Amino acid sequence: MKVFLSIFSFLIFSFNLCLADNSYRAGENQQEGTIRLKEIVVTPYKVAIGSFQSPASVDEILVKEADLKGVSGLADSLKNIPSVSYSITGGLGGTSGISIRGAETRHTQLMYDEIKLYDPIVTASYFYAYNYMSLDNLERIEVAKGPYSSLYGSDSIGGTIRLLPRKGKGKPTVSFTQEIGSYQTYREKLSFQGEADKLNYSLAISRKDVNDFYAGKYKDGNHETDPFSNLNAALRLDYSLSDNLEVGLISDYTYAKYDYDDSSPVVDANNYARFYQGVSGLNLEHQISDVFLQKITFGYTRTHRKDYPESGDVRWYDGNTYQAKWQADLDIIPENKIIFGFDYLRERGESIYTSRQTANTKGYYIENLFNPWKNLLFSASYRREEHSQFGSENIVSFSGSYFIDETGTKLKSSFGQGFKVPSIYQLYDSFSGNSDLTPERSRSFEVGIEQYIRKNLKFGTTYFQTNIKNLIEYDYGAWKYKNVGKARIWGLENFLKYNFDDNTHLNLSYTYMDTEDKSDGSRLLRRPNNKVTLGFDTLINKLKISSDLSYVGNRIDYPGTVKLKSYILGNLSFNYQVNDNLNTFLRFENILDDDYELVEGYQTPEFSWYLGAKYTF
C-alpha cells in the first residue's frame, strides 16, 4: 500500500509541475489562444454533435481502450463514471443495478443501438443484468446523464446508456483471446471482422467461467462456492444497397448460469439459476436527398429466467418486447435541424405467478436543433406518449450551450422532464397489481461550465437537481402498489483532464450528491454522497500502463438502517504489443485489498489478478 501511495503522490507532483509550465494565458496570439478541438461527437440528441458544442453531460467509453486494460464486462466499464452508482446482490450472478445521478436503478435506460433493453416481467421492468453482458462487438458506450424521455420515452429519468455495436471495416481478420485469473477464472473470445465488397461484418463469441467465488460473505459462514458461467455472442452486418441506401442487422445473445445465496439475512443455500437474453434488430437508413434522411428500425427482445431454489420449487419468468421506430432528419436550413419520428413498443410478460399480460405504447416526438452560428447551440424537444393502460403523457426538454473561443470556455444549461411507466407486474399482478397506477414523473435541470486551456487541459463543474414524484412503492397496509413516493436529488460533478503528451493522460473526477426520500427525510439507498476517481495511463514504446484509484463514500442499505462503510479501490493494468499479431495483458484489481460491500452480506472480490493474450490472424 505504501508503494502505491508513493506512486500516487509522485503523479500528483508531476501533474502540478506540468500544469505550472503549461498554464493558459488570456490574450495570447490567435494561433496559441484559440482552442482547436478534435470533432469527437456525441449522440444523445439522436444526431451527431461535436463535443465542444453539446450541452449534454455525456461520458464516452471507447471499447478499444477498455480492451487494452483487460476490461471485458459491461458493469466493470461503467463503475468509475462520475455520478454513477453500482450495486450487485448475490455474488457474480446476482441482480445488478446502475443508478445515474441518484435516481433509482429502474430510472436508467439501456439501449442496444436503437433497441430498448429491459425485462418487462421483472417487478419494475428495468435492466438488471449488467454483470452478464460483455463488451464484445461494441465500438463505444455513451452514458448520457439527465432525462431524455422526450426523445427516448419511458425510463430515462436518471440517464440513458447506449451500447453502439462495432461496424466491421478493412481487411478481414480473426482474433482469439485467452484469459485466466483469480477465483479460477477462465475466459475465451473469438472474433471476426472486416468488409467484402458492399458487406461489412463483425462477429464475436466469448465464454467466461468463475469457479471459486462466494456469493455470501465467507467470514459470515458462507463457505459454499457459487460458480458463475457466462456466454455472449454478438453480430453486426451492414450492406450497401446503393450509395444512399444501407440495410443493417444486429443480434446479441447472453446466457448465464450461476449459484446464488438467499438474502435477508444472507443464507448459504444451494440455489442456482439460468438467464437467457436475445436481442435482434433490423435497420434501414435512406438518404432520400441532400436535406432529408430517414431511418427505420425493427427490434425484438426476449428475456427468460429460471430459478432452482434449494427447496425444489422451480420458478420461471418470460418477457418479450416488439419495437418499431421511424425517424426523419430534415436539414432545409443549414443552421436549423429538425428531427421527428414515431416509435411503437409492445411488451408481453408472464411467469409462474402472473398470467400473460401485454401493454402497448406509441410515441411521437419532434426535436429542433438551432445553431445560428458555430459556437452557439439551442435544442428543444417534445414527446407525446400514449399507453394502452393509463392514457397519454406529454414531455418537453430544453438545452443550450455557448463556446467562447477567446477564453476556451463552454457554458451549458438544460431543463428536462422524465417519466417511467408502471410495469406489467405492477399493473396486473393478481396479488399486488394496481391498474390505477400512473407514471412516475421527474423534473431536472443542470447548469455547468467547462474550461479548456490550450489543447492539453480541460476542467469543469456541473450542478444538477432532480425532483421526482408519483414514485411507485409497495403499500404493505393495502397489499398493493401505489403512487406515494417523492424524492429530491442535487449534486455537483467536477472533472479535470490533463494530457502530458499524446501518450500520457490524467483524469480526475469528484461527485458530491445529496439525496432525500421526501416521506421521511432519509437518504436514498445505496447512493454515496462522495465519489472520487483518479485515472492515469501512459504508453512507453509497446507497453501501455493504466491505473485508476476510486474512493466511494458510505451508503445506506436496506431497510434504511444499515450503513455500508466507504471504500477505496485501486486497479492496475499492463498491456504489451509483442508484434503485429500478438497482444498480452496483465491486470490487478483491488490492489489495496479493501474489504467492502456493495450490498450488505454479499461478497466482493479481494485482491485479484488476470493474465491474458490476444492473437490476431
The predicted pLDDT at position 42 comes to 66
The predicted pLDDT at position 222 comes to 86
Q: Does residue 594 surpass a pLDDT of 90? A: yes
Report d(CA 378, CA 366) in Å as an integer: 14
Residue 292 banded pLDDT, cuts 50, 70, 90:
very high
CATH number at residue 135: 2.40.170.20
Each residue's pLDDT tens digit, 371-395? 988 889 999 999 999 999 888 999 9
Nearest in space to 493 (alpha carbons), one of 483, 480, 508, 504: 508
Report d(CA 492, CA 512) in Å as an integer: 5
The predicted pLDDT at position 34 comes to 32
Residue 41 banded pLDDT, cuts 50, 70, 90:
low
Q: Does residue 198 surpass a pLDDT of 50? A: yes
Sign of CA dihedral 181, 182, 184, 188: negative
Q: Does residue 233 surpass a pLDDT of 60? A: yes
What mean pLDDT is predicted for residues 106-122?
96
306 bridge partner residues = 274, 316
DSSP string for 298-362: EEEEEEEEEEE-TT---EEEEEEEEEEEEEEEEEEETTEEEEEEEEEEEEEEEESSS--EEEEEE
Q: Does residue 19 surpass a pLDDT of 80? A: no
Report which of residues 560 and 580 the model is more confident about.
Answer: 580
φ/ψ region of 194 (left if φ > 0, alpha if ψ in -120 to 50, else beta) reads left
Q: Are 455 and 410 in contact (CB under 8 A)?
A: no
What mean pLDDT is predicted for residues 181-194?
97
The three-class DSSP label of residue 28 is coil
Residues 6 or more apart whose CB falls under 8 angstroms from that of 512 comprise: 491, 492, 529, 530
Residue 560 banded pLDDT, cuts 50, 70, 90:
confident
What is the domain range of residue 280? 2-616
Residues 6 or more apart whose CB falls under 8 angstroms from that of 605 comprise: 182, 183, 213, 589, 590
Each residue's pLDDT tens digit, 299-351? 999 999 999 998 778 999 999 999 999 999 999 888 899 999 999 999 999 99
Each residue's pLDDT tens digit, 467-480? 999 999 999 888 99
Give the chain's mean pLDDT: 90
**How many structural domains does the chain have?**
1
